[in-house]
Amino acid sequence: MARQDNGIIDLSLPISEIEKALYDYAHSPLRGLKALHLALLSFQKNTQASLSDSLYHQRLVSLIAATEQLLVSGSPYVARYHKALLSSADALAQVAIAGQFGEGRAEPLYHLLLVERSCWQDVLSIINEETVLPSQVSYLARFNVRQAESVGVDAYLEALAGAGRVSFDLDAVQEGALKGLFRLTTAQSLDWLQRKYPQLQWQIASVNEDMSLRALCELSFLPIFQHSSMQRDARYRLLGAYEKTFERLFYQPFNRLFASDECILESPDRLVPMSNDNALIKLDDNAKCFPLRHGGAFYIGSCLPEQRHSEMTYLSRLGRDFLACFLYELDTSFGRFVFDREECLGTYTVTECDLRTHGALLLFSVAADVEAEVVLTACLLRSIETAFCLLPQYIDQVLVVRQGGQYFALPYFAICEVEGVCSVMSTPRAWVKNVWLSRENRPLIEPWLCRSDSLPAAISGSGKDNSLGFAKNGYYFGKVYGRMFWVEAELVLAILPYQKPFSAVHIDEDTFRSKSFIIHDGHCFDKVLSKDFVSDGFGPSGGKASFSMILDRMGESIVLPFWCCDWCESLPEARYVREFALPLEQFCYSAEKRHWMSLQEDAVIIDKKNFLSFVAGLSASLSLV
């Protein structure tokens, strides 16, 4: 494909990059298509000025669009598509090189761009798919001792990462060799994997054969939203195609959930996730209903109309909201917070005549029939050191937010718009309404403005599925703040490089409580083990943890910071601490600090039998600020 040009335009490099990417597509489809996309964009930029023929630019745009479509579809390798990409890219390169010598030299080659050619028919067929949805399949591949002698686990992990999402589960270590199972989720076919990696024993993982299309879409949206190398226009085009399709398949207007048109509904046309329960809801005539997002899922909220601080209840959990939203990000006297733009009435300049007092409340007049409570104190602070209470006379501008059937006017100093996807909490908490994720995976906190005593108990979801399709056996062990922990492998959702927790401060019954959390794979985990819970004085004097281990079971999850971590097949005979849900006074040696009794110096074991007991003990000992 590469040709000698006359130096008018530097085409050698982009053509060479296109050739390399097309070669790589056969061996690592995802990596090859990403490289091809970037090379074609560079090629387009270099030839934009030298060639004015509309057919050439139309075909080049089609080839770029087809590459983007394949990336969205999971980057499958299809031999017919590979041949079409090769032929169409070669045709464009020939026309572009000839065009350097003048339009007259390029015209005889325009027949290479005719739509009747099979390569362009295949390119257009990729683009014209009605629905672009990833067709992902999960595979298992057995890795045994003999193969470890020639090709190691790390080499396979690096190679398979170019085909999809890969992990390795260790079964045993025998005489220094590893034995285990690879798990790969990819758009590639079983035939391609068997030809590419014949040393591994491939099979389809039956556990994921029944994975719903909705679950696949939930898994795929956030990685595309946070894609870092894709051009802005291409990214928005792909996200738009996804959102349009997903809204049609998995969302519906809020008012379709109710049996009567006479219900008092707030935001009746707002799109909410479709519920698995198709039964229409019948309401008490006195109740007002509204869609409310909490912990990444939508609920049907209900309260009594025309009553300020009416107690709120959840009638039903509708499902996870996995699409992106535009948010207002505000700097306030309590810290920086975000609110869904769709739940805001707008920003307002405040004058003295707009404010009035009603008992202990300060109210802001938004319209003739709408008053919003001015938020002067908050139950959630980003930092206790920097928070302060803003006096009414210094309020210049407010954002009016609708939350839980009520209106709130939040004073702010600065405001901007950001884009975010809501993280999921397996059990939504009262301390925070939602934790959003930016494109850079930065957490954006959305606080409750409602009074904490009016908040309902959230209906938990099913939790994060950590099933890999086969039993995880053995135990992970290592040091946590200087104490040895043994963890049953079936509880482990993920082992990550150490993540320093994010933090906020929650005010609960006039007590300041520190809230720590980490973000992983679109989920928020807010129970992080602290040093005070483990012991007093046993932690190492320096250094930092190396791993963050997430345990998840029965809708509860915790995060353990490990200084070192290893695996063994069985639990050694020894004395272990197994009971954690002790009376609260046994955790305390003073009013400021809570931890285990110092006499319990044995190693700690966490298994399926005592996991909930451990979570209860951790919840009882959350540290005070």
Q: Which of 109-113, 529-533, 583-587 has the lowest mean pLDDT?
A: 583-587
If one counts the domains in the chain, the total is 5
Q: Is the pLDDT of residue 61 over 80?
A: yes
Residues 69-93 have pLDDT tens digits of: 888 777 888 888 999 999 999 999 9
Instruction: Identify the H or E element spanning 373.
Output: strand 370-374
Quick one: average pLDDT of 145-152?
A: 58
Quick one: tokens of 398? 């407010």
Quick one: average pLDDT of 343-372?
A: 88
In three-state secondary structure terms, 304 is coil
Q: Is the pLDDT of residue 377 over 70?
A: yes
Q: What gap in Å lies between CA 26 and CA 153, rounded to an integer?
A: 22
Task: Please indicate, yes or no, if residue 221 is contained in any of the structural domains.
Answer: no
Q: Is the pLDDT of residue 63 over 50?
A: yes
Assign residue 56 the CATH number of its domain. Answer: 1.20.120
Q: How many residues does the chain have?
A: 625
Quick one: 491 and 590 in the same domain? yes
Instruction: State residue 592's pLDDT score.
Output: 43
Residues 555-605 have pLDDT tens digits of: 888 999 999 988 888 888 888 877 765 544 444 444 444 444 333 567 889
Please report how the helices 54-72 and 29-47 are oriented relative to each other, as an axis angle in degrees rounded to 10: 160
Cα 477 off chain centre by: 28
CB of 164 within 8 A of CB of 184? yes
Quick one: average pLDDT of 257-264?
A: 76
Q: Last residue of a domain, which of 316, 351, 375?
A: 316
Q: What gap in Å lies between CA 49 and CA 64, rounded to an integer?
A: 18
Quick one: 479 and 377 in the same domain? no
Task: Please indicate, yes or no, if residue 45 is contained in any of the structural domains.
Answer: yes
* Strand ranges across the sheet with 201-204: 164-174, 177-186, 137-143, 201-204
Task: Please indicate, yes or no, if residue 132 is contained in any of the structural domains.
Answer: no
Q: Is the dihedral of CA 345, 350, 354, 360 positive or negative?
A: positive
Quick one: 441 and 331 in the same domain? yes
Quick one: 608 and 486 in the same domain? yes
Q: Last residue of a domain, which of 157, 180, 211?
A: 211
Assign residue 199 the CATH number of its domain. Answer: 3.30.70
**Residue 336: band (very low, low, confident or very high) from pLDDT cuts 50, 70, 90:** very high
Q: What gap in Å lies between CA 220 and CA 231, rounded to an integer?
A: 18
Look up the domain containing 60 and give its range. Answer: 12-127
Who's near 117: CB < 8 A, 6+ residues apart? 87, 91
Higher pLDDT, 607 or 390: 607
Quick one: 534 and 403 in the same domain? no
Residues 29-48 have pLDDT tens digits of: 888 998 999 999 988 888 87
Q: Last residue of a domain, which of 127, 145, 178?
A: 127
* Neighbour-count burial of 600, counting CB atoms closer than 10 A to its CB (0-12 exposed, 13-18 middle, 19+ buried): middle
Quick one: 336 and 311 in the same domain? no
Q: How many CB atoms lie within 10 A of CB 560?
A: 26
Who's near 172: CB < 8 A, 6+ residues apart? 178, 179, 180, 569
Q: Is the pLDDT of residue 15 over 60?
A: yes
Phi-psi group of 613: left, alpha or beta (phi > 0 → left; psi -120 to 50 → alpha; rest → beta): alpha
**Percent of the chain at pLDDT above 90?**
26
DSSP sequence for 556-613: EEEEEEESS-EEESSPPS--EE------GGGGBSSSS-B---TT--SEEEE-TTTHHH
Task: Please indicate, yes or no, if residue 185 is contained in any of the structural domains.
Answer: yes
Quick one: 189 and 297 in the same domain? no
Q: Which of 407, 408, 439, 404 is nearest to 334 (CA)?
A: 408
Phi-psi group of 405: left, alpha or beta (phi > 0 → left; psi -120 to 50 → alpha; rest → beta): left
517 to 438, 557, 569: CA distances (angstroms):
16, 11, 31
Quick one: 353 and 280 in the same domain? no
In three-state secondary structure terms, 487 is strand
Q: What gap in Å lies between CA 196 and CA 189, rounded to an integer?
A: 11
CB of 382 within 8 A of CB of 415? no
Task: Please indicate, yes or no, if residue 116 is contained in any of the structural domains.
Answer: yes
Q: Is the dihedral of CA 220, 501, 432, 416 positive or negative?
A: negative
Instruction: Give the CA dihedral 122, 124, 126, 127, nearest 10 degrees.
Output: 170
Instruction: State residue 410's pLDDT score.
Output: 94
Quick one: 328 and 410 in the same domain? yes
Task: Please indicate, yes or no, if residue 459 is contained in any of the structural domains.
Answer: no
Quick one: 159 and 118 in the same domain? no
CB of 293 within 8 A of CB of 342? no
CA atoms within 13 A on the CB side of 150: 6
Q: What gap in Å lies between CA 153 and CA 565, rounded to an integer?
A: 18
CB of 534 within 8 A of CB of 580? no
The pLDDT mean for the chain works out to: 81
pTM of the model: 0.67
Q: What gap in Å lies between CA 188 and CA 139, rounded to an integer?
A: 10
Task: Please indicate, yes or no, if residue 119 is contained in any of the structural domains.
Answer: yes
CA angle 70, 17, 186 (to 5 degrees): 30
Task: Please indicate, yes or no, if residue 584 is contained in any of the structural domains.
Answer: yes
Instruction: Identify the H or E element spanning 122.
Output: helix 118-127
Who's near 588: CB < 8 A, 6+ residues apart? 594, 595
507 to 378, 379, 382, 390, 593: CA distances (angstroms):
8, 5, 11, 17, 18
What's the DSSP call for residue 1?
-
Instruction: State residue 132's pLDDT score.
Output: 45
Residues 415-449 have pLDDT tens digits of: 999 999 999 998 888 899 999 999 999 999 999 99
Q: Which residue has the tokens 């494909």?
A: 1
Instruction: State residue 210's pLDDT score.
Output: 43
Quick one: 393 and 414 in the same domain? yes
Quick one: 499 and 442 in the same domain? no
* Strand ranges across the sheet with 443-446: 335-340, 324-332, 414-422, 434-437, 443-446
